[in-house]
Chain A
Amino acid sequence: NAGVTQTPKFRVLKTGQSMTLLCAQDMNHEYMYWYRQDPGMGLRLIHYSVGEGTTAKGEVPDGYNVSRLKKQNFLLGLESAAPSQTSVYFCASSYYGTDPYPDYNEQFFGPGTRLTVL
């Protein structure tokens, strides 16, 4: 049981290049999330998904796109990278549990991807 995994661990891009970050979870979780972590700003939600084939915008979605074609995978894309997107990116997943509070469960995080845009 690997939990939440992220690929790659590190990446350096030049301004204007594109890339895709892959997140995979093997816990059969319904919900998946992409966050970015910047010093002094905590974690900010970029996009999230409540199920296969669905995505929604979070707090800071501009410049990013996502897809969730399979339940276990959640992809984060940068079409034209900018230096402001230099950050550590975390993927997380969560589950819909049992009553009386099925939708108040903890999130499980991946190890992160450190992205530098020059």
Chain B
Amino acid sequence: AQSVAQPEDQVNVAEGNPLTVKCTYSVSGNPYLFWYVQYPNRGLQFLLKYITGDNLVKGSYGFEAEFNKSQTSFHLKKPSALVSDSALYFCAVRGLTGGGNKLTFGTGTQLKVEL
């Protein structure tokens, strides 16, 4: 079965500094990976995905993610953090069996960007 791990419950960063939210995955076969963001009292919003191709994936709101097959990681990054980026971030991996485009989510990382 596939799984993702988000080792940090919370990440704090100063506005203007680069940010990284970590994600590692475990899957037999090719990984298909996603990042979502959740603002308070809202549903999840899609940021970006890796299916194949370039290891650096660009997404919404200036976010990007780097796929590293040897380290089984898919870290979310942004060159310059904004206070408005403060939210809960989820990494997810697509299931490889059973159809239906199912996702398995990590436990989430709370990002706090401070002035």
Decide if the interface of chain B is mainly helix, strand, loop or mixed: loop
Could you show 30 A-B contacts with beta carbons less than 8 Å apart?
A4-B43, A31-B101, A40-B107, A41-B107, A42-B106, A42-B107, A43-B90, A43-B105, A45-B102, A45-B103, A48-B102, A56-B98, A56-B100, A92-B43, A94-B101, A104-B32, A104-B49, A104-B51, A105-B101, A106-B34, A107-B46, A107-B101, A107-B103, A108-B46, A109-B43, A109-B45, A111-B41, A111-B43, A112-B41, A112-B42
What are the residues of chain B within 8 A of A41 when measuring CB–CB? Answer: 107
Determine if B56 is an interface residue (Cβ-Cβ < 8 Å).
no
Closest to A94 in B: B101
Determine if B99 is an interface residue (Cβ-Cβ < 8 Å).
yes
A-B contact number at CB 8 A: 63
Residues of B within 8 A of A (CB-CB), count: 26
Q: Output the least CB separation between B5 and chain A (Å).
A: 10
Determine if B83 is an interface residue (Cβ-Cβ < 8 Å).
no
Determine if B14 is an interface residue (Cβ-Cβ < 8 Å).
no
A104-B94, A106-B34, A109-B43 in contact; A48/B49 too (CB < 8 A)?
Answer: no
Interface residues of B in 37-60 (CB under 8 A from A): 41-46, 49, 51-52
